[in-house]
Structure 1
């Protein structure tokens, strides 16, 4: 952000291997993706990371249990940053992007699938 306004947004779908991660790890991965994307602009400057994931506020104080988390935290080494927690209702820009209101004119289709035993199919 500059002068209180966002200057860029970043969006990327999760890879299949990352779908099973915890919410904390998914948020951490998103944070890492954004910092990596704009790393060349951030190096040498102190910057603030604002997140609605409260546990990420203590990212440097926590004991990283998994090898994956340890690997991710090393990518942030050497950068001057602080993580600030911003509650969901204060984070309207993110909510507008991630919580789209359903369109009442859109159709919804529901389906039920079942398996029929072979002897019923033969009848």
Structure 2
């Protein structure tokens, strides 16, 4: 009986819903030097973290394309309107590990994005 009761709770709170993201594209803009802005949009995000991950994947692929091994997250502005999530994220890219707390190894992140079905630039 306890198992039936728990599964009913999971269905009631939406935990059993299938994640079906629709990645709607990335716009990339070089701001200056190593500073790059990524505007991404998607539908079907479960949480803001899904949109953040999409932007991070775009930043990582951009760094790889430009022969830079690393990126550092500076900021992300998120908004949701009419079921569409949008993120405006800014990263620096660099050939060596930058200082800061939110750094990413671009090749590792790109591989993780591909493994999780998140498109890159």
Q: TM-score, normalised by structure 2?
A: 0.30
Structure in which a larger fraction of residues adopt helix = 1
Larger Rg: 1
Select the structure that is richer in strand. Answer: 2
